[in-house]
Amino acid sequence: MKVYIETFGCAMNHKDSENILAKLKADREAVQTDKITEADLIIINTCSVREKPIQKLFSELGSFNAIKKSGAKIGVAGCTASHLGREIIQKAPYVNFVLGARNISKIISVLDKKGAVEIDIENDESLELYPSLPVSNFRKSINISIGCDKQCSFCIVPFTRGEEISIPTDLIISETQKAVENGAKEVLLLGQNVNNYGRRFSSLTPHRDINFTGLLKEISNISGLERIRFTSPHPLHMDNKFIEEFATNPKIAKGIHMPLQSGSNKILKMMKRGYTREWFIDRVERIRRAVPEVAISTDIIVGFPDESDSDFNDTLELLNIAKFEQLFSFKYSPRPLTEAKDFKNQIADDIASERLIRLQAIHQKIMEDLAINRKNKIYSVLFDSFDSESNCLIGRTSSGLLVKAKGEKINFGEIRNVKIIESMRTQMKGQIIF
Ligand code: SAH
Ligand code: F3S
């Protein structure tokens, strides 16, 4: 069986696609193809966080159906599958199955059931073990929790991925050990609200009392593992103990995502984010003090309902204080099931577009300034590939920055010190020194 799988959205969606493929490989000896016309099974793993990907889903489904091999099946998985369920088959009757984001483990059972819809939002997949696929580029993503318990007023995820359940610590440890045995040097711990780990475990099994900081400590004891990353954490749960562990544990990579969303206290409250602008600034300053080489990325939504010029200016001002190394910015998109879609004073699209442009321009300037400061510094870089065009080795710093380097022949998967010769906004060039 040849499978074509297209994945939209977050890192967890990519991991879900990997898990789907792993099951198909083990059960049906499936192989992945990048040619739709050759596929016996086409899966679109969807995202529903903003509206655009949903429009794209139906236009893609139509064009995939038109070119697919005769007899090939089409399945829709992920958050839009959870949210729209049977409606997808009503709109596109040639779709064979719909597999919600919390029902990924049921991939084999829906394959031969025409019209199957598996979208149980209470399904507990936290104990599920998937066959492992080979490690690529020395990195492996490991789920540590499913669902999200926060109810940010703009966000559809709690409705598509359901209540938060942490995966048992022992399972995470054994999955990480397996990944390291298979060649991984770096793991990416995944959850929608990753640092709320330990809040609730499956009722189907006993569990230990442990939080995210404790989990990081345990994982870092695995020998052969060099770097631990995680996404996405919530700023609210970044307590002092966590920051201390982040700063002092050499295996924890020094890049962190701190999704701000807005710099205005009024908007943060309407978003139900649970922190204030002051708390956020305090966390950033504390992290930068403890880890001077840290790279901080963020998510910002512009044009949230009732966002005034003054609220937006608060966000711009915070950008200049925090000086994020990376920014993911979005225009607010009203989502079904969420509270914010019914808020008064929805912001006109042209105003939101203009704010997005201003925000991104300020960020570009910040990135330029940060880049200048990196010149002549020395970074430890994990090399994973070679770029024949530039004749350079390619790797990432602990903080996640992309580095191209010339120097002696090294084995991929090795960490080396690199002196930065040229530093641009999104990548650096350097020389391996030892
Ligand atoms: N905790 C999750 C967040 C999922 S959504 C994670 O693991 O990434 C990712 C980002 O999309 C959010 O941080 C937010 O900035 C943005 N987003 C979510 N809902 C949105 C909406 N309705 N409109 C615009 N952007 C949104
Ligand atoms: Fe969404 Fe907020 Fe959870 S952004 S995924 S409800 S932390």
Ligand nearest to the CA of 161: 2
Q: What's the pLDDT at 320?
A: 98
Residue 225, C-beta contacts closer than 8 angstroms, at least 6 positions apart: 176, 180, 184, 185, 186, 187, 219, 251
Ligand 2 atom having least distance to the Cα of 158 = 6
- Helices then strands (H, E): number in the chain? 13, 19
Residue 112 burial (10 A CB sphere; 0-12, 13-18, 19+): exposed
- Alpha-carbon distance values, 266 to 135, 156, 277, 298, 315 (Å): 45, 21, 10, 19, 11
Query: For residue 229, what are the β-bridge partners?
Result: 188
Q: Determine the Cα–Cα distance for residues 25 and 107; give it in Å rounded to an integer.
A: 11
Ligand 1 contact via 143 beta carbon (within 6 Å): no
Query: For residue 41, what are the β-bridge partners?
Result: 3, 73
Q: Which domains does the chain have, with CATH numbers?
A: 2-118 (3.40.50.12160), 124-253 (3.30.750.210), 256-374 (3.30.750.200), 375-432 (2.40.50.140)
**Residue whose tokens read 């050990």:** 177
Q: What is the maximum span of the chain, computed from C-alpha positions, in angstroms? A: 61
Sign of CA dihedral 286, 290, 292, 294: negative
Ligand nearest to the CA of 261: 1
Q: Are the C-beta atoms of residues 345 and 388 closer than 8 Å to each other?
A: no
C-alpha 9 to ligand 1 mean position (Å): 10
Ligand 1 contact via 260 beta carbon (within 6 Å): no
Q: What's the pLDDT at 117?
A: 98
Ligand 1 contact via 192 beta carbon (within 6 Å): yes
Number of other residues whose CB lies within 10 A of the CB of residue 66: 8
Q: What's the pLDDT at 297?
A: 98
Q: Determine the Cα–Cα distance for residues 280 and 228; give it in Å rounded to an integer.
A: 23
pLDDT string in tens for the chain (434-residue length)? 999 999 999 999 999 999 999 999 999 999 999 999 999 999 999 999 998 877 789 999 999 999 999 999 999 999 999 999 999 999 999 999 999 999 999 999 999 999 999 999 999 999 999 999 999 999 999 999 999 999 999 999 999 999 999 999 999 999 999 999 999 999 999 999 999 999 999 999 999 999 999 999 999 999 999 999 999 999 999 999 999 999 999 999 999 999 999 999 999 999 999 999 999 999 999 999 999 999 999 999 999 999 999 999 999 999 999 999 999 999 999 999 999 999 999 999 999 999 999 999 999 999 999 999 999 999 999 999 999 888 899 999 999 999 999 877 788 999 999 999 999 998 999 999 97
Ligand 1 contact via 339 beta carbon (within 6 Å): no
C-alpha 49 to ligand 1 mean position (Å): 6
Residue bearing the CA closest to ligand 1, atom 15? 299
Ligand 1 contact via 259 beta carbon (within 6 Å): yes
Of the candidates 195, 254, 249, the one whose C-alpha atom is nearest the C-alpha of residue 220 is 249
Ligand nearest to the CA of 339: 1
Render the burial of 81-101: b for 16+ CB within 10 Å, e for the rest. Answer: bbbbbeebbeebeebbbbbbb
Residue bearing the CA closest to ligand 1, atom 11? 49
Number of other residues whose CB lies within 10 A of the CB of residue 247: 16
* Per-position DSSP letters for 367-420, written without gaps between them: HHHHHHHHTT-EEEEEEEEEETTTTEEEEEETT--EEEEE-S---TT-EEEEEE
Of the candidates 71, 69, 191, the one whose C-alpha atom is nearest the C-alpha of residue 142 is 191
Pocket of ligand 2 (CB under 6 A): 148, 150, 152, 155, 157-158, 192-193, 234
